[in-house]
Each structure stands twice: as structure tokens, then as C-alpha cells.
Amino acid sequence: MSAPSHKALATGGRNPLHRFLPFGLRVFMRRRLRDWQDFRSNDRIARGRGVVADFPILVSEKSSPLKREVAGSLSTNTAEKTRNLQLGAQRLNGLVIMPGEVFSFTRTLGPSTRRLGYLPAIEFRDGETVTAVGGGLCQLANLIVLLGIEAGMEILERHRHSLDLFPDADRTAPFGCGATVFYNYVDLRLRNVLDFPLLLEAAVEPPVCKAAIRSASPMPFRCRMIETDHEFVKVAGIIRRRNKLWREYDDGSGTRRELLCDNDCRVVYPAEHLVTREEA
């Protein structure tokens, strides 16, 4: 999992706690606060289990490579990360999300600790690369965001990455549609708004990590994600990447669009050749 970047979580600048409190203490305080918020919440977190045979309709299926070999990008290929993804996929696979229930990434996986078999791997903390137990699980969260969008799920909580980490080689989804997670207060939460249950599948099958969402009944609509306003801009000497992502619904009688996010992230790989304009 990736520790939160304050730029991704706050709009009013860095939290004052960041300056005065050690990282471990800040995490402890935020986790206890989230526990209390969940205790008081009326949301029903999905916890049931099912089998593929009872969910014959494939709604959406996604995959991403475990290994990226792109010149100038950050390498994320480690055996430790793959092991973490395998453990995470085992917890996610077979989860049933009933109508009205909420999928919670961190509540489904639980804490990623050494005792549970997780290993140190790369993650991103406050805009920097570090090694931490459970690193790499965001790759699963990224896939599930895409599944949820195409299944028409309501996005209750999603925290975007504050950096554009990789060029577009092997990218199968638009930039900026992923999710960063960190147990338990930086979560990915999606509500099933359909009248029937959904089944989540997840697996690591080298060379890819894959996930799918299935239903027991035909979908009343189709959804797809659309990207607009994509550009690379140099701002005060720093290259930033921007776009807008929309969800388009098609129920057979017409289409409508819902704005999902307006991305603006710092690029960490060589991208001078992609810049189309500059801002002061």
C-alpha cells in the first residue's frame, strides 16, 4: 500500500501534524479516528463470499503488467511486490457485494503486516519512494477502480496519486484513474447501486495482475471511461500532466456523462518532448 501524500488528501496545504508529529504517531491517530468513524457509520461493508458459478455474467475484466521496463521510469518489479499482490488478491477474490453494500479495499484486505506474510516493497510516501511492508498493493486498487467505474458503482472514496510515475508504455487505461490506499484511513470505497449482487475476482498470474467483476443478472446499462483535455504543461519549470476523466452511461435509449476527476499531477519521468505549452 502507498502511504498518503498530503497533496492528494488535502486542498488546504500540508496538514500541520506532518510538521510536528512522527509518521508512526500520525498513522496511529488517523487509524483510530477512522475506526471510530466506521463504527458510527450506517454503511454496510461487504464481507460475504461467493463462487463464479452463481455469477455467470462478466461485467468487466482488467489486468496490468507486474513488470515495467520503460527507460527513465521508476522500476516497480520485485518478487516482494508480487508476493504482496498475491496475498492481497487472495483476500479480494470471491468477495460478494450485495445491493447497497460498500466495497472497502482496506477493510477487505486488513493490515499488511509481516505476521500475515507481507514483505517490504516499494511504495510512495509524501511524494517520495520508500520501502515498506505491503508495498505495491495499489496495483490491485487501480484495477478495482476501473471495474467499479464500468459496473456503475458509486465512488464514495478514492485518493489519487499525486505523481505521474510512468510513461504510457503498456498503459491500458487513461492517466489519473488509479487509487492510492493505506490501511485504514486512505481507502477505496465503492457502493453497489444495482438491484443485484456483484462478485469480485482477483488473481496474480505472471506476467500480469488481473481482476474482474461479475453479476448474477444482466446489466441495465453499459459504462465506459472517457478522457478529455489531456496535456503536458510546464509550470514554473516543472512538468505537469493534466486531464479530465468522465464516466459515460448508455442505457440503450441515450447516453449521459458524469465527471469523475480533474487531474493535475507532477511528472517524475523525462517528458520534455511531450510538453505542449508553458505557464508562468
User: In the prediction, which pLDDT does 127 show?
Assistant: 63
- Tell me what pLDDT residue 81 has: 93
List pLDDT tens digits, range 205-252: 999 999 999 999 999 999 999 999 999 999 999 999 999 999 999 999
pLDDT digits (tens, 9 = 90+) for 166-184: 788 767 788 899 899 999 9
Q: If you average pLDDT over each of 28-32, 66-70, 122-126, which comes out highest?
A: 28-32
Q: DSSP secondary structure string, 78-118?
A: -HHHHHHHHHHHHHHTTEEE-TT-EEEHHHHH----GGGT-
CB count, 10 Å around CB of 124?
A: 23
Residue 25 predicted with pLDDT over 80: yes
131-145 b/e (C-beta count within 10 Å ≥ 16 → b): ebbbbbbbbbbbbbb
Q: What is the C-alpha to C-alpha distance for residues 172 and 265, in angstroms, rounded to an integer?
A: 19
| pLDDT for the residue 52 | 97
Confidence at residue 122, expressed as pLDDT on a 0 to 100 scale: 83
Q: Where residue 4 falls among pLDDT bands split at 50, 70, 90?
A: very low
Place of cell 500541520: 16
Q: What pLDDT is recorded for position 15?
A: 59
Predicted local distance difference test score (pLDDT) of residue 165: 79
pTM of the prediction? 0.89
How far is it, in rounded angstroms, from Cα 159 to Cα 177? 10
| Mean pLDDT within 113-119 | 96
Nearest Cα residue to 173 out of 255, 89, 263, 63: 63
Give the pLDDT confidence score for residue 11 in this predicted structure. Answer: 33
pLDDT at position 142 is 94
Length of the chain (residues): 280
Contact (Cβ atoms closer than 8 angstroms) between residue 119 and residue 80: yes
Give the separation between CA 184 and CA 174, rounded to whole angstroms.
27
pLDDT of residue 14: 52
Considering only residues 259 and 126, tell me which one the structure prediction assigns the higher pLDDT: 259
DSSP 53: G
Beta bridge partners of 211: 62, 202
Q: Name the pLDDT band for 13 (thresholds 50, 70, 90).
A: very low
pLDDT given for residue 10 in this prediction? 33
Distance of alpha carbon 48 from alpha carbon 63, whole angstroms: 24
pLDDT at position 250 is 97
